[in-house]
Chain A
Amino acid sequence: MYENAQYIFSNGKNDCIRVDINGVTSFVPLDPANTDYAAIMALVAEGKLTIGAAQ
């Protein structure tokens, strides 16, 4: 389960996503070949998850 997703901003661009995965905070690269990223984007497309803007 993916919750509390938020972009991490670095070097002038969004660099990765900080997200709680089954309650564990992890950092997911913006790489379509990363299976967490693919799952996150599928949830976003379905309207089931929102990725917060970087602070």
Chain B
Amino acid sequence: MTATLQTTNIQNAASSTTNLALDTSGNVTVGSSLTAANNITATSGTVVMASSFLRNRIINGAMQIAQRGTSATVTAGTAVPTASAGFPCVDRWFVYSTGANVTAAQVAGSGNNKNLLQITGAASVTAVGVGQRIEQLNSYDLAGQTCTLSVLLANSTLTTVTWTASYANTADTFGTIGTPTKTQIATGTFTVSSTLTQYTVNIAVPSAATTGIEILFTVGAQTSGTWSIGNVQFEPGSIATPFERRLYGQELMLCQRYYEKTYDITTAPGTVTNNGILSMMSFASKTIRTVWKFAVSKRTAPSITFYNPNNGSTTNPFRDFDSSTNYNGGTDAIGTDNVTASWYYAAGGGNTNGEWGGVHITASAEL
């Protein structure tokens, strides 16, 4: 026996709002969240999310991209982050410590999570922070909304991780940890253990937060043991949706808006290699200039560092391969889309006609 139930609203007896509203056109409006044990299928049309896809405003939240290298010592201090300091390991994530140096490393994850960022503590450490700044252009619309922060955390020795959300006082200008120019939105703590676990929290982003948002995780005296972080997501809405997995190439391009190098992606700057060098041809008595066109336009004009392909040094970084000589150089034109590398003429020797030279370059527009 079948029957048709005719009504306009279905409401739980204990609910103050309608769970399902039925209209005369066959539409159904769900009063709050809709949970499905299996797929939700639209036989025609499109499932439209209010927060849209590409909802995670954190870049490299899975810690997969590590252009600067997969492990580095974090020198204690709070004069970070700046474009050239405070980004030791995985892209987009700044790390600082106080009291003593710590180590930051991209490590293997578990299950579906390929990587984590892991901080290894040391004696005399008084605090460690790991954060990311979301530029104004990628967070402007979050102002006035409830957002959700999700993160995988584990700590082998400490049980409290503090999270703090802030916005820049002026567009994309947060200052350093020691000299901040930002306003706190909210802060709180997660009680963590040595087992990697997901934690979530809702954050009410104020309407004034149109200038960029910083997400910062901190711990206290990590004098030993390790602190692991992964799958960081900051999204509009009050629901912690599953971690958004972007393709590696997409994530890399997102990272390269803030940092790029001439080296191969898995080669750390300072490595001795000719792969990817910006090649030049000498001409006697002249400074030789050539342009490195960035793969991705930068957030702003980046800070530039040159590396010698032959010894990895930033001193006399331009290498003349034919004469096996190293030369000084620099730049006199830095843009958001390219930089001019200048191989200086060395009076009194070198730079004879037609010799092959080269240099490696990094460009950082981090905020």
Binding site for B on A (CB under 8 A): 1, 8-11, 15-16, 18, 21-22, 24-29, 31, 33-36, 38-39, 42
Contacts and interface: CB of A to CB of B under 8 A. Distances in A.
B301 A29 contact: yes
Given A27-B303, A34-B300, A39 B314 contact: no
Nearest to B300: A33
Given A10-B333, A36-B84, A38-B173, A26 B303 contact: yes
B83 interface: yes
B303 A29 contact: yes
B84 A16 contact: no
A15 B367 contact: no
A35 B83 contact: yes
Contacts of B331: 8, 16, 27
A25 B361 CA distance: 12
B332 A28 contact: no
Range for the number of chain B residues in contact with chain A: 20 to 34
14 contacts: A8-B330, A11-B332, A24-B314, A25-B306, A25-B314, A26-B84, A28-B304, A29-B301, A35-B81, A35-B367, A36-B85, A38-B173, A39-B79, A39-B176
Interface string B229-268: 0000000000000000000000000000000000000000
A28 B84 CA distance: 9
Q: What are the 6 closest A-B residue pairs judged by CB atoms, nearest first?
A: A10-B332, A29-B301, A33-B300, A29-B334, A31-B301, A35-B82
Contacts of B75: 22
B85 A22 contact: yes
B332 A16 contact: yes
B55 interface: no
B301 A34 contact: yes
B180 to A, nearest CB: 12
Interface in B314-344: 314-315, 330-334
A50 B85 CA distance: 20
Interface in B88-109: none
A48 B85 CA distance: 18
Contacts of B365: 34
A27 B330 CA distance: 7
A43 B333 CA distance: 24
A8 B179 contact: no
Nearest to A8: B332
Contacts of A31: 300-301
Given A27-B304, A29-B302, A42-B179, A15 B84 contact: no
A18 B305 CA distance: 10
Given A11-B332, A15-B333, A16-B332, A21 B301 contact: no
Contacts of A10: 332-333
B366 interface: yes
Interface in B29-70: none
Nearest to A28: B303
A18 B330 contact: yes
Nearest to A15: B332
Contacts of B314: 24-26
Given A28-B303, A39-B176, A34 B332 contact: no
Contacts of A8: 330-332
B172 interface: yes
A6 to B, nearest CB: 10
Contacts of B302: 29, 34
A33 B299 contact: yes
A54 to B, nearest CB: 10
B331 to A, nearest CB: 5
A25 B108 CA distance: 33
Interface in B281-308: 299-306
Contact of A26 (B299, B305, B332): B305
A26 B333 contact: no
Most interface-central of B83, B302, B304, B306 (chain A CB within 10 A): B83
Contacts of B82: 21, 35-36, 38-39
